Amino acid sequence: MKKIKLKKKNISAKSSRWLQRHLNDEFVIKSKVEGYRSRSSYKLIEMEKKFNFLKNSHNILDLGCAPGGWLQVAKKFGPKSSKIVGIDLLKIEKIDDVVSIEKDIFDEDIKEIIQKNFTNKVGLLMSDMSPNSSGNKKIDHLRIISLIERVLEIAKEVLKPNGFLVSKIFQGGAQGDLIEKMKIELRDIKYFKPKASRKQSPETYLIAKKN
């Protein structure tokens, strides 16, 4: 495939390298061709092929859903009758038959809002959230931990027993207390790094069932 080369205008060397790599990325190109909104969609597709959590999940909740790639995958691979709800700080472009809510998952009323949007408990809770980088490693680490803890808290309330949790976590992020909390709420815990997840990225995914 012919490589895209950028004309250097008002762009720093670092941004130019990032953009060049992005534009030539196999999953970015594939997502444009196949109509997915994110390269991250291919992470979920690969996980679904291996673990089959979407196939039979009737109530699907996606935390950190923007721009909507995982929602598109959920719609395609989930049961036709499945209710699908996505939440993000950012507004997303509408996807037919999918409910999207602009909200912070740390808002106090988040569990109530989720429960109002489903008639039954959630069968699959997905999270592809990452905190914005502060540039300070310690702060970023704490932000990662609190995000995962919040996902667990939400799962505790809204996910049905035996329901699936699929969540981005970060290598080195799940330690001590957090592992203990996970063991209380979850079982069959597996970790998986899809091919679409960049090798240099510390992200990996947790796939587990609720107790």
Ligand X SMILES: C[S@@+](CC[C@H](N)C(=O)[O-])C[C@H]1O[C@@H](n2cnc3c(N)ncnc32)[C@H](O)[C@@H]1O
Considering only 68, 78, 173, 194, the residue that binds ligand X (CB under 6 A) is 68
The answer to whether residue 48 forms part of the interface with ligand X (CB under 6 A) is no
What positions carry a catalytic annotation? Answer: 168
Q: Is residue 64 a contact point for ligand X (CB under 6 A)?
A: yes
Q: How far apart are CA 79 and CA 49, in angstroms?
A: 15
Taking the C-alpha atoms of residue 89 and residue 98, their distance in angstroms, rounded to an integer, is 17
Sort 96 into a burial class: Cβ within 10 Å, 0-12 / 13-18 / 19+: exposed
Q: Is 194 in the site for ligand X (CB under 6 A)?
A: no
CA dist., res. 113 & res. 99, Å (int): 12
Applying the rule CB under 6 A, the residues between 90 and 109 that interact with ligand X are 90, 104-106
Which secondary structure element, helix H or strand E, spans residue 193, and what is its range?
Answer: none
Closest CB 109 distance from ligand X, rounded Å = 13
Tell me which of 54, 129, 182, 206 binds ligand X, using CB under 6 A. Answer: 129
Structure tokens at 19: 């953009």
Q: Which of 31, 38, 57, 59 binds ligand X (CB under 6 A)?
A: 38
Shortest CB 45 distance to ligand X, Å: 10
- Under the binding rule (CB under 6 A), the answer on residue 75 touching ligand X is no
Question: Does position 40 bind ligand X by CB under 6 A?
Answer: yes
Name the segment binding ligand X (CB under 6 A); options: 9-17, 86-94, 169-177, 179-187. 86-94
**Residues 154, 103: Cα–Cα separation, whole Å:** 14
Strand order in the sheet with 203-210: 98-102, 83-88, 59-63, 122-127, 159-170, 203-210, 186-192
Residues in CB range of 114: below 8 A, 6 or more apart: 61, 85, 87, 122, 154, 158
Q: Shortest gap between Cβ of 169 and ligand X (angstroms)?
A: 13
Q: Which of 48, 85, 88, 196 binds ligand X (CB under 6 A)?
A: 88
Q: Report the interface residues with ligand X, using CB under 6 A.
A: 37-38, 40-41, 64-70, 87-90, 104-106, 128-130
